[in-house]
A and B are shown apart, each in its own frame.
Chain A
Amino acid sequence: MAVIKIQDLTYYYPESEKPALDNINLEITGGQFVLLVGGSGCGKSTLIRALSGLIPDFYGGTYRGKVFLNGKEIRQLDRRSLVRQVGMVFQDPESQLVMTNVEQEVAFGLENLGLPNSLMKRRVMEVTGALALSGYLHGFIPELSGGQKQKVALASVLAMQPEILVLDEPTSQLDPVAGEEILAMVRRLNEENGITVILVEQRLERCFHLADRVLVMENGRILYDGVPESVARWAAKNKSPFIPPLARLFAGVGFPEVPLTVKQGREILKAYYPFPGLRNRNPKIKRAEAAGDECLVDIQNLWFTYPSGKEALKNINLKIRPGDFTVIMGENAAGKTTLLKNITGLLKPGRGQVKVLNRDTKKVSVEELASTIGYLSQDPNDYLFLPTVREELAFTLSNMCLSDDGVSAEILQRLQLTSYAETNPRDLSSGERQRVALASVLVARPQVLLLDEPTRGLDYRLKAELGDILLQLQAEGKAVLVVTHDVEFAAEYAESIVLMAEGTIIAGGSKYEMLTRSTFYSPQISKLFNNLVDDVVTLEQGREILTRLMVVKENQVVCG
């Protein structure tokens, strides 16, 4: 029986003339794991908010059509019975927790439902036990890690025992390990407790295979609805980026089978093994033509200790040259962000030195370095406060006493922001906001660009756009240094990889050396070809190999 039924649902946000949801018709049966995919602003979040009654109750706007929960029209349900049926976990753990301690947070929803104390105690005990939160019951929430906070948010919703669990990009602000943990919990809840799960997620390689059904959305409409395998084929045929890299690879070259996991992919490839004469032509990394040999940033024996006594960087040696595209990877607290801050001059080395264009950062202020070192932080909102995009760019120029010789228009055009020049940046989508923040950095024409977790919360299309922009900058001779947990992004766009752990650089080299034969720091493509073909890292390499495999197979069939 359908637990959710949506009939002709159309919705406009207040003061918007474009529908956020356009004639949606959908039925979801109990116990299903539904994955909702699509680009930024396609209506995914709006749809799940309509299921939880937040639209239109919280947002207002114009609403047409009907949503039924277990046969009852949602508008006819009182709010208590609605929140008992649908639990919602949001994107940012920081912005959904209201109490100061874990136990009180988990009990918050139960108090709102007016449950007796004895029942609340039982529910809190059960849910914190199940999500391994018992050890943090009295923990102060601001001191928990992002993953723990998101677990608390999940626990506070689960304590209300909802029949349907709706999650809006719950892992987008988390590191991969914490993200995996949340998704594993969600899968367990679906499999072991039969809870209906509706998940909106961008990193599809983590969850595509978990879903029973995938809905692809665009412009407020459901474009395709099917099982993951059929969605993968449809997406490859329609050039939609919203499938995991592996499925995109196989479906893209027209392979007869489409795997959703590395395990399935390797099973398929084994049928072709041994690969006769198939050796990967490892592409030599070409340095950008504009690149020179001068050293833009020279880090020698850098040690850094925080006032708290924590030794965050130990004996770091690194050179950044024009045309470099380096990605720094490593666990949380490995010292990656501290290293970036030492390069920008925000932090000064304890021992050793950091030289930017031969100037010791100890003797130069951050503001003086700002025109040479561009820094894009994790949250683009930290940059945006002016009424228009154009003014944001002008603000950077005026800070650095630079004149606008047409650079603003050039950067806006390059980042496809010209049409938004007079728009308030806070009215833009997350991907567009990030481009505005990047534009406000690039307008000073820095020679080195540092980016801290730039792909966090971005969908595949936006990631690809960002990657292309960075490649263009690299080709112009700018040095790009990115800190990220996103192995797929690093594999596709970086030139070299630096691995950090506990404040030291433990390894560094070309991405073909660093991202292959690794359990954790390798993209899906490398894991697929591991021990079958050497040094495969990018989608392009994978495509080439699969195409050759298909040709070999065809020839064998013809000859046979």
Chain B
Amino acid sequence: MLAYREKENLIHKLHPLAAVAYITVIILLALLFSHPVYLLGLLLAVGTVIIASGNYREWKPYLLISLGLITVIMLVNAVFVQAGSTVLFNGPRVPVLGKIRITLEAICYGIGMGIRLLVITSVFCFYTYAVHPDKVLKLFSRFGNKSVLAVTLSTRLFPLMIRDVRRITEVQRCRGVKLDTGSRWQRVKNRLPVINVLLLSSLERSWQMAESMQARGYGSGKRTCYTRDLLRPGDYLILFAAVLSLITGIWAARQGWSAYTYYPRLESFKLGELKMAMIIMLALTVPAMLGWGWKKWPLLKSRI
């Protein structure tokens, strides 16, 4: 089923252009920055916006899975990368890996990359739960109608196929098909009837769907695009904040502030770098701030 659920807050009512611009800027900056403070700033900004959109509960599993992954990345990096001068642990020699040597720099590098991963998974969580997929698809349909339609159709048919699988499985079990007994190979083989029926029924359905599209004039000429989304002052503010963060981020990158040297020894933080990270983080929390104001002040609500 569709993960998105409409909620009564500003972020759920954003124009898809503002939401997509915000998400794109976060992803670009996460790929551009390697400085852990900058990445942490991005994470804090996305986290605040997710909480402001009322999706903290949905974000929690993403956080838990990502934290697990970060631990794995950190351990693997620490074990495999021998670089770094601050040795924390000197282990025995292990075949293939050689001598185990765990350094502070390798652990910090793993943490830095982990935060980057967390930013990206969080932003995907935000897209899944706070942005209506239809609106985004509609935004892009001006550029690639057929591919957008294919994505829309898949979104439409996926819940239907899940329901079909459930129903066909029940029917075949009532017909004596033993789905959960026997060896693993036998169980896979026993599922073939379900898959066969699903494929045949889906083929029939796709034919009917194509017929319905033909009857409604699909492919009869150039299509236009129906849209009712309006850009509000709040959307312009978020667009502005996103563009500002991107420009600041690029400028910081050109200055070499957003990069960080982990090896051979951890570099110290400079105040100028931290100030810039703060500006970017504040700009990217604009949606959360607006969302909060939208909730608290009816006057602001009516203005943005």
Contacts and interface: CB of A to CB of B under 8 A. Distances in A.
Contacts of B159: 142
Contacts of B96: none
B197 A124 contact: no
Contacts of B152: 98-100, 104
A441 B168 CA distance: 14
Given A104-B138, A113-B217, A426-B200, A96 B176 contact: no
Contact of B171 (A97, A104, A383): A383
B200 A98 contact: no
Interface in A93-121: 94-101, 103-104, 107-117, 120-121
Interface stretch (B104-112, B218-226, B274-282): B218-226
A138 B1 contact: no
Given A98-B153, A384-B197, A108 B177 contact: no
Given A96-B212, A143-B1, A399 B175 contact: yes
Interface in B123-141: 132-134, 138
Interface string A141-153: 1110000000001
A156 interface: yes
Contacts of A90: 208, 211-212, 215
Contacts, number: 171
A151 B260 CA distance: 59
A382 B221 contact: no
Given A160-B216, A399-B178, A98 B2 contact: no
Interface of B is mostly: helix
- A interface residue count range (under 10 / 10 to 19 / 20 to 34 / 35 or more): 35 or more
B302 interface: no
A381 B200 contact: yes
Contacts of B221: 80, 112, 114
30 contacts: A79-B217, A80-B221, A83-B217, A83-B220, A88-B215, A92-B208, A96-B208, A98-B153, A99-B156, A100-B133, A103-B226, A103-B228, A109-B216, A111-B225, A114-B223, A116-B224, A153-B212, A156-B216, A346-B170, A346-B173, A367-B173, A367-B177, A367-B178, A377-B171, A382-B172, A383-B197, A385-B193, A396-B176, A399-B177, A444-B176
A434 B30 CA distance: 57
A314 interface: no
A98 B137 CA distance: 14
A380 to B, nearest CB: 10
Contacts of A382: 167-168, 171-172, 197, 201
B267 interface: no
Nearest to B178: A367
Given A116-B224, A377-B171, A100 B134 contact: yes
B191 to A, nearest CB: 12
Contacts of A381: 197, 200-201, 204
Most buried by B among A121, A396, A399: A399
Contacts of B219: 112
A263 B200 CA distance: 46
B261 interface: no
A409 interface: no
Interface stretch (A51-59, A284-292, A467-475, A508-516): A51-59
A518 to B, nearest CB: 31
A272 interface: no
Interface in A127-162: 138, 140-143, 153, 156-157, 160
A371 B176 contact: yes
Given A90-B211, A101-B134, A112 B197 contact: no
A394 B176 CA distance: 12
Nearest to A373: B174
A360 to B, nearest CB: 18
A428 interface: no
Contact of A142 (B160, B177, B218, B223): B160
B213 interface: yes
B169 to A, nearest CB: 9
B149 interface: yes
A108 B153 CA distance: 12
Closest 10 CB pairs of A and B: A399-B176, A96-B212, A107-B226, A95-B208, A385-B196, A112-B217, A109-B216, A79-B220, A375-B174, A83-B217
A78 interface: yes
B226 A114 contact: no
A116 B214 CA distance: 20
A42 interface: no
Contacts of A79: 217, 220
Interface in A357-407: 366-367, 370-371, 373-375, 377, 379, 381-385, 395-396, 399-400
Interface in B237-284: none
Contact of B209 (A87, A96, A110): A96
B156 A142 contact: yes
Contacts of A341: 170
Contacts of A83: 215-217, 220
A344 interface: yes
A110 B241 CA distance: 36
A377 B173 CA distance: 12
B90 to A, nearest CB: 52
A366 B173 contact: yes
Interface string B165-209: 001101111111110010000000000010011001100110011
Nearest to A380: B171
B174 A366 contact: yes
A109 B217 contact: yes
A522 interface: no
B8 to A, nearest CB: 13
A124 B224 CA distance: 14
A375 B225 contact: no
Contacts of A52: 215
Contact of B226 (A95, A111, A383): A111
B174 A346 contact: yes
B220 A95 contact: no
A408 interface: no
A466 B108 CA distance: 73
Nearest to A401: B176
A100 B155 contact: yes
Contacts of B226: 103-104, 107, 110-111, 117, 120-121, 124
Given A98-B156, A114-B221, A367-B181, 5 more contacts: A78-B220, A100-B133, A367-B177, A371-B176, A426-B204
A124 B228 CA distance: 11
Contacts of B212: 88, 90, 95-98, 153
A440 interface: yes
A188 B230 CA distance: 35
Nearest to B167: A382
